[in-house]
Amino acid sequence: MSETSYDRIVRGTLVLPDRLLEQGWVAVSDGRIAAIGEGPLPAAKAVDDHGSSLVFPGFVDGQTHATSYKGLPGFADTSQAALAGGITTMVDMPYDNPDPLNTMERLEAKIAAVEAHSYCDVALYATIAPGQGTANMAPLAKAGVCAFKISAIESHPVRFPRLPADDTLAILEASVETGLPVGLHNEDQEIVRAAIAALKKAGRTTPEYHLPSRPLAAEMAATANFLELGQATGAHVHIVHISHPRGYDLVARYKEEGVRATAEMCVHYLHFDADRDVGRLGARMKVSPPIRSGVLGALWQRLEDGKIDLVSSDHSSWPVDNKLVPSIFDAGAGIPGLETLVPSFYTDLAARLPNPARVLCEQVSERPAKLFGLWPRKGALAPGFDADIAVLETGSFPFDASHSHDGLNWSPYDGETFGARVAATYVRGRKVWDGVNITGEAGYGRFVPRAS
């Protein structure tokens, strides 16, 4: 080892797959992790000593909507927010503006956009349009998309349509051959549309009516339906966001039965409560499925019970003007979250559990890397993995959304105090965020194909 001179050493308290290693070091060569150690440092061209700060494998956001507003160039702003939030790989959803990713041509265009605009690495979901048929699924899978996503409710007629049950069944059948998960946006369209119509008719269009417009029955009906189709086909059915403990319990029951089912949590469901927060946040906390009331404790219990497969941001790149409109039913659903996912989740974990660093690493790095087929390239500090690293400094840090890097500069977390901040981020060995400034560049990001 004394013969070798590494490109870089990153030193700190390493969050390893099995333990925390104080005064550990990660040695980087050619963008990959070459060695892990402790004690005296080997020779290197550069040494970044982060003292006792926590050194994590780069975080993988399992659910980003980078391009739903600004189109494919939206990768530039969104990926800078990712780096400032310690996220080195975004798993991007297929609902691009103006057209979704459902053909090989659109996949090629999106990969080119990643490699032109993105500051971080990107894995890609694909989708299938209503009536399109499943012929594109095998080629898209072969080209490296990490999963398919469909919706039980229309959010936009072209970009984000609703898939009817016969199409959904055919997609699940075709997915089995590819081995890819199929993710569902789980809300029943008829129930939600009827509830919205009734509320509008009654003149109830202020933010507190978002929650009753999307009753738990709508979420559970869509979730249960999809799990049953998973049971019938043998497909991997992935519920991309569950807002209520009943959903996690239902997925767990299907898992026990042997169904390939997984349940994703978005971090805002673990943080906000509709009764407590809608008065001060209004449309700034509008997400779908909605943030519910009185379930925070039970959701945290599901995390402790092992019923949550991963935690993601569901970052949506909506400007605040798109939210602050007269009727809550015209406000865009979705919130920015790449920059706050790790600091807010770490803060809440530290207040509730004895091992916040380990749980954070598992839920926001290891598990998404494995689910989306990025392991063993992403998701761990271990030799041979990409040298993607996020350094977390603990302390007391007020969050000011006006300084965000996503080009949106608003957040429901604005004004909160976090117990951690991202002090540095590295992608493939290069420092791309120094705790104050983005030091990477557009086009450094790469498409990460799913490992076969």
Q: Examine residue 314 and tell whether it contacts Zn ion (CB under 5 A).
A: yes
219 binds Zn ion (CB under 5 A): no
Residue 92 touching Zn ion (CB under 5 A): no
Residue placing its CB nearer to Zn ion in the complex, 61 or 314: 314
Q: How far is CA 307 from CA 7, 114, 194, 267, in A?
A: 40, 33, 31, 15
User: Would you say 189 or 206 has its CB closer to Zn ion?
Assistant: 189
Closest distance to Zn ion from the beta carbon of 334 (Å) = 7
Of 318 and 346, CB closest to Zn ion? 318
Per CB under 5 A, 96 contacts Zn ion: no
Q: How many other C-beta atoms lie within 10 A of the C-beta of residue 358?
A: 18
Q: How far apart are CA 357 and CA 353, in angstroms?
A: 10
Chain residues 109-168 in contact with Zn ion, contact rule CB under 5 A:
none
Beta-strand pair 121-126/310-312: unpaired
Q: Does 188 bind Zn ion (CB under 5 A)?
A: no
Q: Which stretch binds Zn ion (CB under 5 A): 16-24, 297-305, 307-315, 401-409?
A: 307-315
Classify residue 451 by its DSSP letter: P
Quote the least distance from Cβ 149 to Zn ion, whole Å: 8
Whichever of 83 and 239 has its CB closer to Zn ion, that residue is 239
Q: Which of 184, 93, 178, 91 is nearest to 137 (CA)?
A: 178
**Looking at this protein, which amino acid is placed at residue 166?**
D
48 near Zn ion, rule: CB under 5 A: no
Beta-carbon contacts of residue 32 (< 8 Å; ≥ 6 apart): 383, 384, 385, 386, 387, 428, 429
Q: Which span sits near Zn ion by CB under 5 A: 58-66, 171-179, 193-201, 291-299? A: 58-66
Shortest Å, Cβ 287 to Zn ion:
8
Choose the binding region for Zn ion from 37-45, 126-134, 310-318, 388-396 (rule: CB under 5 A). Answer: 310-318
Return the number of the residue (27 or 240) whose C-beta is nearest Zn ion.
240
Stretch that binds Zn ion, among 55-63, 68-76, 102-110, 161-169 (CB under 5 A): 55-63
Q: Under the criterion CB under 5 A, does residue 61 sit at the interface with Zn ion?
A: no
Minimum CB distance to Zn ion smaller for 63 or for 243: 63
Rank residues 314 and 386 by Cβ distance to Zn ion and give the closer one: 314
| Cα four-point dihedral sign 210, 213, 215, 219 | negative
Nearest approach, Cβ of residue 63 and Zn ion (Å): 5
Comparison of 160 and 385: residue with beta carbon closer to Zn ion? 160
Whole-angstrom distance, CA of residue 262 vs CA of residue 403:
35
- Which is nearer to Zn ion, 125 or 418 (by Cβ)? 125
Minimum distance from CB of 142 to Zn ion (Å)?
25
- Stretch of 56-64, 68-76, 364-372, 414-422 lying at the interface with Zn ion (CB under 5 A): 56-64
Task: Please choose, from the candidates 213, 156, 211, the residue with its C-alpha nearest in 3D space to the C-alpha of residue 185.
Answer: 156
Q: Residue 213, class by beta-carbon neighbours within 10 Å (0-12 exposed, 13-18 middle, 19+ buried)?
A: buried
Residue 365: partners with Cβ closer than 8 Å, 6 or more residues away:
56, 57, 58, 59, 60, 378, 379, 380
371 SS3 class: helix
Question: For residue 324, which amino acid is it?
Answer: L
Minimum Å gap between C-beta 279 and Zn ion is 25
Neighbours of 418 (CB within 10 A): 22
Which residues form the interface with Zn ion (CB under 5 A)?
Answer: 63, 314
